[in-house]
Chain A
């Protein structure tokens, strides 16, 4: 039997200040980057037209850019996509309106205009029939704005639902701690998106929400053990129980994160260009989700319990009626080594 981290007794909670500082630093860097450069939103959110073209021969990017400028698509964004004959061209439709020939003034939101202009540019620089348009996406600005608010709503809604579910299944303190940890993951992921210059598309938002679910999953596994241990070891304080629970679930964490990281890395390396941003977010999300379950959720729970101490934290509500004979935890003079969780204690 191979046993990794069997009977581990690491004092995880002791490092909470270091962990807070590290994550705070990362977020600070992310926030500065976010303010300085902003997120790289896909055309789904900004509105615009994207065309992916496959060239049959190599053409320098500068030449493509020059030909796009000639047809009036100034400021179009050109990127290679996977191989050096595959390009993604992004253009805002409003900018292309000048190139449009439609007379009735309705061309402002017309993808056909951009498509035709790109076609002309490619005919010039690459030659007709020497390229294939493999993907076109165009989104009006109205739809983009709708999607932005929808994505934000989805993330907030998932927080609310989680809070309610955990409040019902566990206890509100657990729910709040889990939501704080998950919010940390969302913020950290956004910082990651900003620093990595990943394009924020609808699929990436989906990945962020999956990270939310995954991180929550992980937090719940640890909290479930906390709930159980709180009942089992009534004399130990929350600090010790949190450490114990994290250590007990450590083998599971290593195994599960190992298998998921194996699949996301194979997606990242082999899954192709289209889902690569998704795979990036997921891979990062597994790290931050694991980190936050241990170093954010547990310390925050400890802090919440100190701030608002209560019987409920011992899982009274989650387990229905408690045996009446159970004495209040803090009532007997506690052994000096293990003061009760209910009495405020100096931070360690």
Chain B
């Protein structure tokens, strides 16, 4: 055999070997939740080393930005960078295989969780600010004293009191009885206030109850700028996290708390979820750092007898407990009847730390695993039929030469898949479409070459010369046309996101693979063919 052919065969064998090695199923580590203990553990899974996109295996894609609706965030790039670290820590513990957390552009965070079956839970874990703070409630009743002023401000602004059904004064609530609410004498003297008519005095200092239906109304009232200025300095209003039922009615608590937190979640070092053996409620226990513990015990010593609100993401958790004695490093947050999983999610986000700013979802895609499986199935079917048609056309038209091109096409498929695996690119549904399409385009180089060889033969050249010249003369057109396609694919990659990028990558790898298979491999096959049959007069092309 010709030495030139042998060298070519070695190169092809090397490429095929490399492709096969890169495609062999291998063991990969995955973090999954142990169903027994509920903890994360590493398992080894044997699978093909091709990453499937979210659209093929199902999953959730989120784009998050810093929420600017509640106040501008001056440096969103910095906030996103810090948020990325926090979200990554949370996701790593959350337990999905190969999560993607990356910053896109300056101020956008992309989170991709493949195979995630509970998108709502994943979203809440990611989005939760998890800003924990402890604040003393309004022990002196300053907010209640300021209520007439607030009502006056509202009256001046022309806000009318809504329902006649609402008790017309700040009402004291005893136990579950709402109808016999005693009337506050100070308020009774005045005409019913707009805001005070909606508030019922709770059991604790600084606690008020609002009927569940009136909640949005009250929230809009207390967020008015004129009301905000009328609220006494050093105080803020915070809603309770849950509805409470008193008798037959549902209420939501509103707390007046001090603006200054006595301690925040930054000082938290450990958090764990457990079930309270006495109440059977879910509880998150936490431990503070050394420094935090000292600060906490100092503050609690000063506030013995006061009520302390545990505020998570601006919502008061449970009813504020009274401080009976100095509290040290350990504490707990009671979640009541909420499921234990929610408690463990809360513990998780507390451990990972608070987000520097609230995040809002600007883009979301959730693909069910069944849809992904359908897509793979359809894509493979379309691909198989497409390939069969291409084989039929090529072999039918070019006979033996066409068969060689088809043989090279199998190598093309192998190279493309290996390229995807080798560079760790992800195969998406548009990528599969691109792959099927590029099978049609991949034979273009061979068509160009074969047509050239035919022309050279018509011009009366010898077989060998015609083949050589055919390959040579077709090169210009092949290179120019493919470079321009790669250029558009590169632009697609640069500008596109997710699925479109997958398409562009498949196209680029496919073009590179088709260059190798259609030019180098087919030329080698031609050389072998001509070598075997030196007496051949007509080429089967």
Contacts and interface: CB of A to CB of B under 8 A. Distances in A.
B460 interface: no
A135 B366 contact: yes
B436 interface: yes
A142 interface: yes
Contact of A106 (B70, B119, B370): B70
Interface stretch (A69-77, A217-225, A326-334, A340-348): A217-225
Interface in B283-316: none
Interface stretch (B329-337, B419-427, B439-447, B524-532): B439-447
A142 B362 contact: yes
The prevalent SS among residues of A at the interface is: helix
Nearest to A249: B451
A151 interface: yes
B503 A136 contact: no
Contacts of A151: 495
A189 B198 CA distance: 60
Nearest to A212: B488
A169 B480 contact: yes
A113 to B, nearest CB: 12
A104 interface: yes
B430 interface: yes
Nearest to B369: A134
Interface string A93-135: 0000000010111100111100000000000000000001111
A216 B477 contact: no
A259 B455 contact: no
A88 to B, nearest CB: 12
Contact of B440 (A153, A161, A262): A262
Contacts of A278: 430, 433
B120 A134 contact: no
A264 B433 CA distance: 9
Contact of B364 (A136, A225, A262): A136
Interface stretch (B92-100, B173-181, B319-327, B382-390): B382-390
Contact of A267 (B216, B220, B437, B492): B437
The prevalent SS among residues of B at the interface is: helix
A158 B491 contact: yes
B221 to A, nearest CB: 11
Given A162-B487, A270-B378, A263 B367 contact: no
A136 B366 contact: yes
Contacts of B361: 109-111, 138, 140
Nearest to B540: A1
B500 A210 contact: no
B513 to A, nearest CB: 16
A220 B430 contact: no
A292 interface: no
Contacts of B455: 248
A220 B479 CA distance: 10
B500 A158 contact: no
A51 to B, nearest CB: 9
A267 B386 contact: yes
A264 B504 CA distance: 17
B476 interface: yes
Nearest to A157: B491
A267 B499 contact: no
B261 interface: no
Nearest to B399: A1
Interface of B: 55, 63, 67, 69-70, 119-120, 123, 215-216, 219-220, 223, 360-368, 370-371, 374-375, 377-379, 381-383, 385-387, 389-390, 393-394, 396-397, 399, 429-430, 432-434, 436-437, 439-441, 443-444, 447-448, 451, 454-455, 458, 476-477, 480-485, 487-489, 491-492, 495-497, 499-500, 503-504, 507, 538, 541
24 contacts: A112-B123, A133-B368, A134-B368, A134-B370, A143-B363, A154-B495, A206-B500, A209-B491, A210-B437, A210-B488, A213-B484, A216-B488, A224-B476, A224-B481, A225-B477, A252-B451, A256-B441, A262-B389, A262-B440, A267-B382, A267-B433, A271-B382, A272-B377, A274-B375
**Shortest Cβ-Cβ A-B pairs, 9 listed:** A272-B378, A263-B440, A260-B440, A263-B386, A134-B368, A262-B389, A213-B488, A271-B382, A140-B362
Given A134-B368, A256-B448, 4 more contacts: A157-B491, A203-B430, A228-B476, A259-B441
